[in-house]
Amino acid sequence: MKRLFSILAITGMMAFGTANATTIANTSTAVTTVTSMTQDDAPAEELGFHQELKKRFIEGGPGFMGIVLLCLILGLAIAIERIIFLNLSTTNTKKLTQDVEDALASGGVEAAKEVCRNTKGPIASIYYQGLDRTDEGLEAAEKAVVAYGGVQMGQLEKNVSWISLFIALAPMLGFMGTVIGMIQAFDKIEAAGDMQPSLVAGGIKVALLTTVFGLVVAIILQIFYNYIIAKIDSIVNDMEDASITLMDLLIRNKK
């Protein structure tokens, strides 16, 4: 658009200067030239990706296209929230384990619990729960670690199922819009009593657009979903390794 506005401004100044310096006929010629230049540049500007996407979205109709867009917005909102939460939940497990081990050796269980309190993330919480049950024995500490690990895993997976729902729902809505559009196209054929391509081509095109946008939304959300699942698996593996390491530390500390 900036390019188009620049061309219009320059040609407008040229036309204004020509009008002051030449006859009315020459001014008309300049205006004609300006108009032709603008028309030649306009299609190139309309071929932009965003303009084309907006045009196709409007052609698809506000009904199903609006619902598909809502699926994309809600899915992305949940995905971004989960990504932020998971990144904040990531802990340097080796550093935390070393700090806890040093605290156990120097200040005992209370010092190690203080280290866990000052560290964010599910692994530090699991460490704290295990250390908090050491007075009841290693078996109680192990049960606390396992139980709280399940709680933390539930927190990591919170709302992820909604993303998978939107991944499945978006193409389904697109297919439904396509089917309804095809039915409407055949209704036009039946009402006209004649098979004219121009009569149904527009309706079929609009019907197919809902499927295209539904698939695009599903693909975008699927990428985010796979990243989130991979991140959760990585954190869960760290939690399991950290739980085993904690029990080994407690066993060595008891000796």
pLDDT of amino acid 225? 95
Q: Hey, what are 248's tokens? A: 């080994």
Angstrom distance (rounded) from CA 39 to CA 45: 10
For the beta carbon of residue 10, count every other beta carbon within 10 angstroms: 12
Cβ burial of 110 (10 Å; 0-12, 13-18, 19+) is: exposed
Cβ atoms of 100 and 123 within 8 Å: the answer is no
Identify the residue with better confidence: 177 or 233.
233
pLDDT of amino acid 176? 82
Q: Is the pTM of this model over 0.95?
A: no
Q: With b meaning 16 or more CB within 10 Å and e meaning fewer, what string describes 145-164?
A: beebbeebbeebeeebebbe
pLDDT tens digits along 228-249: 999 999 999 988 888 888 888 8
pLDDT of amino acid 213? 86
Which amino acid, 222?
Q
Mean predicted lDDT score pLDDT of the chain = 75
Which residues does 155 contact at the CB level (< 8 Å), separation at least 6? 122
Q: With b meaning 16 or more CB within 10 Å and e meaning fewer, what string describes 88-100?
A: ebebebeebbebb
pLDDT tens digits along 182-225: 777 777 777 776 666 666 666 677 777 888 888 999 999 999 99
pLDDT of amino acid 5? 38
